Copies of this chain bind each other. A is one copy, B any other.
Amino acid sequence: MKIKEIKGGVCAPQGFKANGVHCGIRKNKIKKDFALIVSSVRASAAGVYTQNLVKGAPVIVTKKHLTDGYAQAIIVNSGNANTCNSNGIEIAEGMCGMVERKSGISADDVIVGSTGVIGQKLDLTPMLEHFDELYDGLGDNSSAAAEAIMTTDTVRKEVAVEFILDGKKCRIGGIAKGVGMVCPNMATNLIFLTSDVAISPAMLQKALSNDVKSSFNMVSVDGDQSTNDTCCILANGLAGNSIISGDGASYKRFAKALNYCTVKLSKMLAKDGEGATKLIECQTVGAKSLKIARTVCKSVIKSSLFKAAMFGSDANWGRVLCAIGYSGANVDVQKIDVTFLSRAGSVKVCEDGYGLDFSEELAKKVLSEDEVTVLIYLKSGNFSATAWGCDLTYDYVKINGDYRT
C-alpha cells in the first residue's frame, strides 16, 4: 500500500478549514494562542484522553460531546490549561458556545482543548473579543492552528498523507503539541487529526484506540502524564469511499495510513521535548511478547540517567541494562545485546548481558548525531516495539525551573 506524504496538515483532507490567532491569553504579544478547525459537514469523531485522575475541564467536556460519535469543529487555546479551576467546565462549554453562535454548529459537536499552566483562572473575554477574527480567517491555515496550540514547543508539528481506498483519493492530516509533561497513557498532550475518509464512529474509535498504543503512548519526554492529554480525530467522509463499518481491507489500509501520521507526529513530539538536542529512538526486538517489547523500550527511554548520558553522547550502556532490569519485564539478562546506531554508523556495546570492547571514538561519533537509535536485542522471541524520547539537558531544567513565573 502506497502512502504519500502531502502538504496541508489538518486542511489536507477535503472539507476542513483551520486558523490560529493571538487573542491575548499569553503575555507574549505575538505568539498565537487560539485555534479553530472546522469541517464543512458533520464528521465521525473519536478521542482518547489522559488517564490522570486530575483531568482538565476541556477533557471532561470533549468526552461528553463525543458520546454520540460525531463532531464538526475543534476549538483550542494555549497559555492556560483550564485545569483545577472551579469554573473550568463553564469556561470550556463557553468556548464551544462561541462556535455555535457564529457558525450554527451545535456546541455538542465541538471538541475543546486547553494547554498551559494548571490552576490559573481562565477568562473568556480575550477569546470572545477575537473569535470573529479567528472564524473569519478560516481557510487553508493548518500551520496557524499548529502554531496556536504550541506552548514551549520550538517547532510546529504537522503531517498529512494521501492514500487510496476503493479507487478514491483519501487523506489524513494532523497537528500536535507536546514538550513537557509528556508521558502519555492513552494519548499525549494535544493531537488533532482530520480525515475525509468515510468511516463509522465505532470503527474510527477502534482505529484510534489501537493506534495510540504503538504511537503516542510510546513517547516519553519526562515521564509526567499531563492532565489534559487529548487526541481526537474527525473523519467527514468527503473522499467518497464506501463507508468503513467493519474490519477488512479498507479498515486495515486506513489504520496503516493513520499510523504513518501518528508515528511521524510521535517522533516530532519526542524530538521537540523540552530542552532536547536529539531524538532518541529505542527499539526492542526479539521479545517474548509485545508487552515485554514495549515495557523494555519505554523504561529505557524514560530513564533520567540514560537521557543525561545521551545528552553527553556518552555510550554508558550500563544505564540501558539498568533500566531494562527495573522495568518489570521478565527478560533473560544473559541474552541481551545492545547496539547504538545513527547516520554516523553503529557500535555494539553489550552482548549476552556483558560489556564488549568497543571504540569510544566511534561511539562518541554515533551518539553525537541529532537522531540516535538504541537497539535492544532480547533473543527470546519475535515481538518488537519502538519508543521515542529525547535527551535530558540543562535547558529542560531551565525551562521547567521557571515555566510559570
Say yes or no: is A51 at the interface (Cβ < 8 Å to chain B).
yes
CB-CB contacts of A211-226 with B at 8 A, as 1s and 0s?
0000000000011111
Chain B: minimal CB distance from A23 (Å): 22
Among listed A65-73, A231-239, A348-356, interface-contacting one: A348-356
CA distance A128 to B118 in the complex (A): 58
Say yes or no: is A189 at the interface (Cβ < 8 Å to chain B).
no
Contact A305 B394 (CB under 8 A): no
- A85 in contact with B119 given A51-B326, A309-B403 (CB within 8 Å): no
Interface size class of A (residues with CB under 8 A): 35 or more
Chain B: minimal CB distance from A115 (Å): 12
Chain B: minimal CB distance from A119 (Å): 4
Contacting A321 at CB < 8 Å: which of B54, B304, B321, B353? B54
Contact B52 A325 (CB under 8 A): yes
CA distance A120 to B317 in the complex (A): 11
Say yes or no: is A207 at the interface (Cβ < 8 Å to chain B).
no
Q: How many copies does the complex hold?
A: 2
CB-CB contacts of A335-372 with B at 8 A, as 1s and 0s?
00000000000000010011100001000000000000
- A316 in contact with B225 given A54-B325, A118-B321, A397-B392 (CB within 8 Å): no
CA distance A355 to B85 in the complex (A): 7
- A398 in contact with B394 given A85-B354, A85-B355, A325-B53 (CB within 8 Å): yes
Contact B180 A326 (CB under 8 A): no
Contacts of A52 in B (CB 8 A): 322, 325-326
CA distance A353 to B118 in the complex (A): 11
Contacts of A396 in B (CB 8 A): 304, 308, 397
Chain B: minimal CB distance from A314 (Å): 5
- In the complex formed, the residue of B with least CB distance to A312 is B401
Chain A residues numbered 76-94 whose CB sits less than 8 Å from any CB in chain B = 81, 83-86
Q: Besides the contacts A51-B326, A85-B355, A225-B322, what 12 more A-B pairs have beta carbons closer than 8 Å?
A: A53-B331, A119-B317, A181-B319, A181-B322, A223-B223, A304-B400, A308-B397, A308-B399, A311-B397, A312-B402, A314-B404, A393-B397
- Taking beta carbons and an 8 Å cutoff, which residues of A are in contact with B? 51-55, 81, 83-86, 117-121, 180-181, 185, 222-227, 302-305, 308-309, 311-312, 314-319, 321-326, 330-331, 333, 350, 353-355, 360, 392-394, 396-405
List 7 contacting pairs A-B, 8 Å CB cutoff, sorted by A: A53-B333, A54-B324, A84-B350, A118-B321, A119-B321, A119-B354, A360-B405
